[in-house]
Amino acid sequence: MTSHDVDPLVARMRPFGTTIFAEMSALALRTGAVNLGQGFPDTDGPPEMLAAATQALNTGHNQYPPGPGIPELRAAVAAHQRRFWGLEYDPDGEVVVTAGATEAVAAAILALCEPGDEVVCFEPYYDSYAASIALAGATRRPVTLRPGVDGRYAFDPDDLRNAFSARTRLVLLNSPHNPTGKVFTPDELTLVAELCQEHGAYAVTDEVYEHLAFTDATSGHVPLATLPGMRERTLRISSAGKTFSCTGWKVGWASGPAALVSALLRVKQFLTYVNAAPLQPAVAVALALPDDYFTAFRADLQVRRDQLIDGLTAAGFDVYTPEGTYFVTADITALGGTDGVGFCRTLPERSGVVAVPTQVFYDDPEAGRRLIRFAFCKRQEVLAEAVTRLRRLPEVR
Ligand code: PMP
Ligand code: GLN
């Protein structure tokens, strides 16, 4: 046997195949289906931001920027957090620019976790979390979010308490939450904060949908770092991709106390070193846009959310109304579905639409077996076409 006969991939990465987003987007391309799978908008972000990027490209912002990010962007990130959340971060030392939120999450976990440490997270979890935890040699301790009779996803507080142990190093919290659309309430966050403090754990928060808690959510978005005792133990992560409809730019950032940010940067510098020089000044412009931009963006997404919910309901799905994000989840049981993965793999053929099965984001696949996710960050005519196609689904079956 030669070394070529064995899988060269390290064992800790073998459970991770191609991401479901890549698989489903490829399926959409292949079949010509409407892609409501991967969460990317089909319109461009604010023109001021695009103009600033073009200008930066044409005026020499094309070489390595400083390691932590350009000063204008770090200042804009700090000002934005002060404006919207009343959080104070020093742009020099408490803010670092990353290659999207994905790199920030990975660098945070790699920086903070020793092999064998435990990371408490909520499932369904964003797929990169599991891979980053595995790369660090840490263990994930998922707490399951389940839809309740009120249609809201919630967790059992005892499950959360039981997920903490002497090995807990950090809690990874995503709110507003992908894929469920859950916005964690102040009470839920208080429990997370108490348990973090009780166990001396850090928190890493993924808040890429911070501007997408809808007006009818049980509560608005509350950053965990704003709770008593949490700023000093939280790395708060966000990104331009979702708020400014530029998911391909991969400009993200992390903020927190200097020691945590410095730890993250020590890892980040050896992952990508720096990123996206000409896009950084453009994101600084976007973050400084007036409040109206953020309000209108959310209102517009809320209209599209409602359009898709109505359409999915008319097509026979049981829909869980999301309180935030780009996504709506639906139960396939009423349409005869028993397994989301199989359902989504054949959906393009059966109805010309792509969705994502959420069961791949659980350690306990049973909990998500009948749930699938649709993205509504698409033009209204695209959503209308998807709904028209889905409404024919029962006839095709
Ligand atoms: N976290 C969550 C919850 C996401 O939905 C996404 C996708 N935008 C990311 C992280 C990745 O963000 P980015 O593209 O900035 O790396
Ligand atoms: N965040 C996007 C989603 O949830 C996907 C990003 C990716 O493909 N990694 O759809």
pLDDT score at 378: 98
Determine whether the shortest distance from the Cβ of 98 to ligand 1 is under 6 A.
no
- Give the tens place of pLDDT for each residue, 215-244: 999 999 999 999 999 999 999 999 999 999
Write the pLDDT tens digit of every residue in 112-158: 999 999 999 999 999 999 999 999 999 999 999 999 888 999 999 99
Write down the pTM of the prediction. Answer: 0.97
Measure Cα distances from 77 to 208, 221, 233, 356 in Å: 13, 17, 19, 32
Which pLDDT does position 396 carry in this prediction?
A: 47
Q: Nearest bound ligand to CA 374?
A: 2
Q: Is the CB of 21 under 6 A from ligand 2?
A: yes
The reply to whether ligand 2 has any atom less than 6 angstroms from the CB of 388 is no
Pairing of strands 95-98, 252-255: antiparallel
> Is the CB of residue 124 below 6 angstroms from any atom belonging to ligand 2?
no
> Computed from CA positions of residues 89, 91, 93, 97, in that sequence, does the dihedral angle turn out positive or negative?
positive
> In angstroms, rounded to a whole number, what is the distance separating the alpha carbons of residues 79 and 91?
9
Gap between the Cα atoms of 242 and 378, Å rounded: 12
> Is omega for the bond preceding 257 within 30 degrees of 0, making it cis?
no
174 lines ligand 2 (CB under 6 A): no
Token couple for 377: 């960050």
Report the pLDDT value the prediction gives residue 2, as an integer from 0 to 100.
59
| 8 A C-beta contact, residue 175 and residue 182 | yes
Three-state secondary structure call for residue 391: helix
pLDDT above 90 for 385: yes
Distances (CA, A) of 252 to 69, 95, 148, 247, 374: 10, 11, 33, 10, 24
Which pLDDT tens digit goes with each residue over 357-369? 999 999 998 999 9
Pocket test for ligand 1, best of 206, 211, 237, 280 (most atoms within 8 A of CB): 206
Query: Rounded to the nearest whole angstrom, what is the distance from the C-alpha of residue 6 to the centroid of ligand 2?
Result: 30
Alpha helices, DSSP H only, in the chain?
Answer: 20-31, 47-58, 71-85, 100-112, 127-135, 157-163, 186-198, 240-243, 258-271, 279-287, 291-314, 340-351, 380-391, 393-396
100 CB within 6 A, ligand 1:
yes
The number of beta carbons lying within 10 Å of the beta carbon of residue 384 is 15
Beta bridge partners of 96: 254
Q: Is 38 in the pocket of ligand 2 (CB under 6 A)?
A: yes
Domain ranges of the chain: 11-38+292-391, 47-289
CB atoms near residue 194 (< 10 Å): 14
Burial class of residue 44, CB neighbours in 10 A (0-12, 13-18, 19+): exposed
Evaluated on CA atoms 66, 79, 86, 300, the torsion sign reads negative
Task: State pLDDT tens for residues 172-198.
Answer: 999 999 999 999 999 999 999 999 999
47-289 CATH:
3.40.640.10
Integer-rounded Cα radius of gyration of the chain: 21
d(CA 253, CA 190): 24
pLDDT at 130: 97
Ligand number, closest to the Cα atom of 20: 2
The pLDDT value recorded for residue 87 is 98
Share of the chain above pLDDT 70, in %: 98
Residue 1: the pLDDT is 52
Cβ 26 under 6 angstroms from ligand 2: no
The predicted structure's pLDDT at residue 149:
86
Question: Over the stretch 259-306, which tens digit does the pLDDT of each residue have?
Answer: 999 999 999 999 999 999 999 999 999 999 999 999 999 999 999 999
Amino acid of residue 121: C
To test the pocket of ligand 2, the residue of 40, 102, 360 to mutate (highest count of ligand atoms within 8 Å of its CB) is 40
Token code pair at residue 294: 């953020």
Could you give the residue ranges of the DSSP H alpha helices within 217-339?
Answer: 240-243, 258-271, 279-287, 291-314
Dump pLDDT digits (tens) for 72-83: 999 999 999 999
- Tell me the pLDDT tens digit for each residue of 56-97: 999 999 999 999 999 999 999 999 999 999 999 999 999 999
How do strand 139-144 and strand 146-147 relate by DSSP bridges? unpaired
Give the containing element (helix H, strand E) for 98: strand 95-98
CATH architecture designation of domain 11-38+292-391 = Alpha-Beta Complex (3.90)
pLDDT on residue 395: 54
Average pLDDT, the chain: 96
pLDDT at residue 115, as a whole number = 98
Nearest CA-CA partner of 171 in 192, 145, 186 = 192
CA 173 – CA 226 distance, rounded (Å): 14
Contact 44, 248 (CB under 8 A): no
